[in-house]
Structure 1
C-alpha cells in the first residue's frame, strides 16, 4: 500500500484489502473513506467487507462511492462534511488514489482552503 500524503491529516492510496486495515490503524489513521463503488472491478472487496475489517481495528469507515469522471460538488461537500465530523487523520482510497485526491482538492476549493 503506497500512501500519498496530501496534508498532515489526509492521505490517499489505491485499493485496500480487509487485511490492510491493521496496517492503516498502525500508521495512526482514525478514519477510512472508500471512494470506489462496489463491483467496479472484479478483484475488489465489497465496502461491507472493508467496513467490518476497519471496525475490528477501531477505525471509522465511510462509504462515498465516486464513479470515475463523475464527481460532483455535492460529493465534494459530502467529503468535507465527513472530514469535519470524523477523527483524523483520514485515509481515502479508490482504485488508484486519483479520484480520492481530486475529490479532496475540490472539497478544499469549495471550502475556501
Structure 2
C-alpha cells in the first residue's frame, strides 16, 4: 500500500525472521484466533515476532463487526509503531478494508 505499510494474507511464525531481514519493524494481526484449523495463534505469532525483533500488535475483528473503535485503534497503532508495518489477516481482504476505512475517516 505504501512505503510504511504492506497488506498481506496469513503469515506464519517461521516468516517473522525473514520479515525482519526484509526491513519490517512491526506486525499488526487483525485475524481472530481459531478462525480455521492449523492457524497460528496470536500468542505464537507474538513470540515469533519478538524473537525476530519485531513489534507485534493484535487487533482481531471479523469483517461483519468492523467498528469505529477498531478503526481508531488501528490508526493509533499505525501512528505509534515503528515502520514499515506488515498488516495481515486470513486473505488480506479484511486488513485492506481496515486500512481503507482509516484512510476514509482521515485517520491516516
**CA distance in structure 2 between the aligned counterparts of 1:99 and 1:112, rounded to whole angstroms:** 17
Cα deviation 1:31-77 (Å, max 9, x = unaligned): 10001000011120100000000000100000000113321121111
Higher relative contact order (CA 8 A, sep 6+): 2
**Of the candidates 11, 19, 28, which is equivalent to residue 23 of structure 2?**
28
Q: Does 2:34 match 1:43?
A: no
4+ aligned runs moved over 3 Å, structure 1 = none
| Gap change, CA 1:23 and 1:72, over 3 Å in 2 | same
Alpha-carbon distance, 1:112 to partner: 5.8
Counterparts of 1:1-113 in structure 2, within 5 Å, are: 6-111=1-106
Unaligned runs of 5+ in 1: 1-5
Unaligned runs of 5+ in 2: none
TM-score normalised over the length of structure 2: 0.95
How many aligned positions are there? 108
**CA distance in structure 1 between the aligned counterparts of 2:107 and 2:56, rounded to whole angstroms:** 26
